[in-house]
Amino acid sequence: MSLKLSFLWHMHQPDYVDEGGEMHMPWVFLHAIKDYYEMPWLLSKFPALKATFNLTPTLIRQIRLYEENGYKKDKFLMLWIREVSTLKEEEKKYLIKLCKSAPFETMVKPLQRFAVLYHKEHFGEAELQDLEVLFLLAWCGNYLRENSAVVQSLLQKATAYTQSDKETLLEALLKFIPQILPFYGSLLQSGQISLSTTPYNHPILPLLIDMQTAAVSNPQTVLPQNPLSLEGDAGRQVDKAIELYVKVFGQKPTGLWPAEGAVDEKSLHLYREKGIEWVATDEAILQKTLKSSEKNLCYHRYEYDSVFIAFRDHPLSDSIGFRYRFMEETDAVGDFMKRLDEIGKQHSDANVFVIVDGENAWEFYRNNAMDFFLKLYEAVSKSRTVTMQRFDDLPKEGRQKLPSLHPGSWIYGTFDTWVGQSEKNRAWELIYQTKRETDSAYRKLDKKTQTAVEEHFLASECSDWFWWYGEDHFSDFLAEFDTLFRSHLIAVYELCGMPVPSNLYLNIFRERNVALSQVKPQFPLSVEVDGTETSFYEWLGAGMVDESKAFSTMDGVKRVVQKLYYGENDTVMYFRLDVNVKQFLSAYKEIKLHFKELPDAIVLPVTDRYGKDGLTLVCKDMVEFAIDKKYCQKKSTLHLQLEITDKQNSSEFVPTFGEIEVCLNDYSKNWFI
């Protein structure tokens, strides 16, 4: 058995820079001190192992802004570094909002003082100063914690930080950032990694070329009104990405990760013309291309229009991105290696492509996932059957030529995450409006101003804006994303010397609050477990988690559970899952209830009807199940998270945000008074 394992770690942030050159969000800086150096550093501890990293142009450009300007182009850091006493109330609110954005369990809780401050609503000056410093320290990755004397000293100090401490910390972190890109360059030259790029502003390139492609991918998709072909912009997005890569790394890229794995035949042809030899996307594209749901197809090598296409193993990739953070590191690595072993036994020459967001998952792991990666890389290095391979080293022989290529992305093989809902379509329509109305004035501009206009158009085409618009994802920073998107189109009118249309000053996104997606139980329940809503009153007073409104950037894949209802009475706990029951029964095999206070998970099979030893389940119009309270071991409070496992052994956790608290027979704290 011989298996070739190819990792691609995708490093990306959208363009947070406004027309004045200021970054409105600090995520590039925060991931720079936590992930962008640390991920290749962890790999470098195993010199015989190889991997591929994708660095997007928007990320590279913003890292270089910090190299050139320090904190002076970052809105957050310019406020953070000021004396707390000089801050206005609105500035304090902005800082506090960002400082409370870190995941509590993995980043806040390990720092005792941070955990105390996290739950406060009002801050004195000394408390706010501590909050600011602890927030940045929490974002410092393991490399900095092991190698920076400043970070080590301030972590040990733990509280009572001074303005001098803030200045010393920021100076040390800003000196660290210029080491990041050269480190990738050195690993590229040594041959341990290959590097790839993405079209310049991370656009959904097939939709720029032809918006009708979205309807070809999914005929049910509602298209924006009066679409324009932005094929010229698509070519510029690729040209500028290659140009920047050459400038930074001294050579042309051979490979490219299309933003969001979005591909179609026209974009592949464009990539080939630009000298790109390989791209990658999701296995769903291959299955739709070949009109087959056969899982093992993705372990072969394919090409279309002379461009090699790597099709990611979806369950394996998502296990690292979403599932393993809930497991002990040894168990997670054991599961990963077991799956590779099973694949290898079925295929004598398997190529397994694991493609994962290289930055956003790790803050949900313990210790920024370092323990997981060290165990994973050690296991692979000791394996006699698994070899890690760079994408640049993929053999050209033995490739199967695809006669066609289904258009779509890494999410369900469609483009619906970026077009189809009213907010997403409105954003596209504003781009088309701006293109049409400024075209004549643009042609009369000097070359320098034309270039500035083009930059704003390319920035407005970034996939991230369309990701956040609509009902499928939530962020506490929707208003900031919305403002940034519209600011690029406003700047185009201003550069063209034209009045700005009033509709560009109106919010695209509708106000929504993720807190409304969770309701706690109000009253005891009496449910007939029959898989139907027997009466309106049956689930009245139940707790509810609306997963469809609580999705975040970490949950790109559409989730099977839309809503979870839960409640109890004196003897039984009740649960209800709102799902597509037909899909649920065909694709999923079991439900595990993980109670933090209980030693073992409670397991229910996914089937039409089940009843045994105090456990009852029925799937009909919905999934309803009941659990006898004898399993609660007389606990008064339990913390629960459901794990729903499909037949490919990929799991979805509900709720997405973590555990729900179940206070048995005590509803008083949940009543609205």
Q: In sequence order, what E strands does 118-200 have?
A: 193-196
| DSSP string covering 546-588 | EGGGS--TT--SPPS-SEEEEEE-SSEEEEEEE--HHHHHHHE
Sketch out the chain's domains with CATH numbers.
422-512 (no CATH), 515-670 (2.60.40.10)
What's the confidence (pLDDT) of residue 608?
Answer: 94
Burial class of residue 342, CB neighbours in 10 A (0-12, 13-18, 19+): exposed
What's the confidence (pLDDT) of residue 215?
Answer: 96
Q: Over the stretch 63-78, which tens digit does the pLDDT of each residue have? A: 999 999 999 999 999 9
- Under DSSP, is residue 541 helix (H, G, I), strand (E, B) or coil? coil
What's the confidence (pLDDT) of residue 1?
Answer: 62
What's the confidence (pLDDT) of residue 661?
Answer: 80
At position 638, the amino acid (one-letter code) is L
Q: Which two tokens stand for residue 225?
A: 């009104």
DSSP code for 178? G
**Does the pTM of the predicted model rise above 0.75?**
yes
Report yes or no: 134 and 111 within 8 Å, Cβ to Cβ.
Answer: yes
What residues of the chain score a pLDDT lower than 70?
A: 1, 474, 511-517, 535-537, 548-558, 657, 664-673
- Under DSSP, is residue 279 helix (H, G, I), strand (E, B) or coil? strand
Query: Which residues have a Cβ under 8 Å from the Cβ of 91 and sit 6 or more positions away?
Result: 79
| Dihedral angle computed from the Cα positions of residues 54, 144, 30 and 14, in that order, rounded to the nearest 10 degrees | -10
Instruction: Tell me which residue of 593, 590, 578, 589 sits closest to 624, measured CA to CA.
Output: 578
What's the confidence (pLDDT) of residue 6?
Answer: 97
What's the confidence (pLDDT) of residue 668?
Answer: 37
- Under DSSP, is residue 599 helix (H, G, I), strand (E, B) or coil? coil
